[in-house]
Amino acid sequence: MPVEVILPKVDMDMATGKIVKWYVKDGDAVAKGMLLFEIETDKAAMEIDSPADGTISNITASEGAVVPVGEGVALIYQADETPSASKPVMHPLHPKLPEPRPDSAAALPTRAASGHILATPLARRLARLGRMDLKSIQGSGPRGRIMAGDVKQAPTPSVRPAAEQEDTSKHYEARTFDVAPLDGMRRAIAQRLTLSKQTIPHFYLTATCDLTNLLSMRESLNARAPVSEGKQPLWKLSINDFVIKAMALALRNVPDANVTWAGDSILKHHSSDMGVAVAVEGGLFTPVVRSAELKSLSQISVEMKDLASRARTRKLLPAEYQGGTTAISNLGMFGIEQFTAIINPPHATILAVGAGIERFVPVRGEPAPRTQMTCTLSCDHRAVDGAVAARLVAAFRSFIEEPALMLA
Active site residues: 381
DSSP E strands, 162-277: 202-210, 259-261, 266-268, 274-276
How far apart (Å, rounded) are the C-alpha atoms in residues 348 and 379? 6
Instruction: Please provide the DSSP assignment of 331-396 as one string.
Output: -GGGT---------TT-SEEEEEEEEEEEEEEETTEEEEEEEEEEEEEEETTT--HHHHHHHHHHH
* Farthest CA pair distance, the chain: 90
Q: Which residues pair with residue 227 across a beta bridge? A: 233
- Which of 94, 4, 95, 21 minimizes the C-alpha distance to 58? 4
Phi and psi at 45, nearest 5°, equal -115, 135
Q: Under 8 Å CB-to-CB from 37, ≥6 apart: which residues? A: 19, 20, 21, 22, 23, 24, 47, 48, 73
- Which of 322, 320, 306 minimizes the C-alpha distance to 241? 306
Alpha carbon dihedral 254, 201, 244, 338, in 10-degree steps, equals -120
Neighbours of 335 (CB within 10 A): 9
